[in-house]
Amino acid sequence: MHLFLIALITLILLNFVIAIFSKKAGITARFSEDTLNQQILSIDNELGNGKISESEAEKQKLAILKKNQKLEIAAKRLKIVKFMFLGFILCACLLYVLLFFFLKWI
């Protein structure tokens, strides 16, 4: 019974750690979006000044968009994992309570 309680507390702590990383990933994705807009504007300025060709500008924009998309996907995955752990913790708590009352009743 104590081992189950220790495992439950460990899961709760792990969920808090994942929540912190998920929040940081969301902040990073938003910060990256601002940086993304600045980089695209600088590419447009270089294109307007004739420093780079149009095809090179498109390649750079696509590379930036792919990088931002990967960051957003990682943030969403962390959020999904966080909610999965939260559901698992809730199920474990319910199981612990049911076990406690069942053993007390016997």
Q: What is the pLDDT of residues 57-91, one digit of tens each?
A: 889 889 888 887 887 787 788 778 778 777 877 78
pLDDT digits (tens, 9 = 90+) for 19-43: 777 666 666 666 667 777 788 888 8
CB 53 within 8 A of CB 96: no
CB 78 within 8 A of CB 22: yes
CA 21 to chain centre: 7
The size of the chain, in residues, is: 106
Maximum alpha-carbon separation in the chain: 83
CA 76 to chain centre: 5
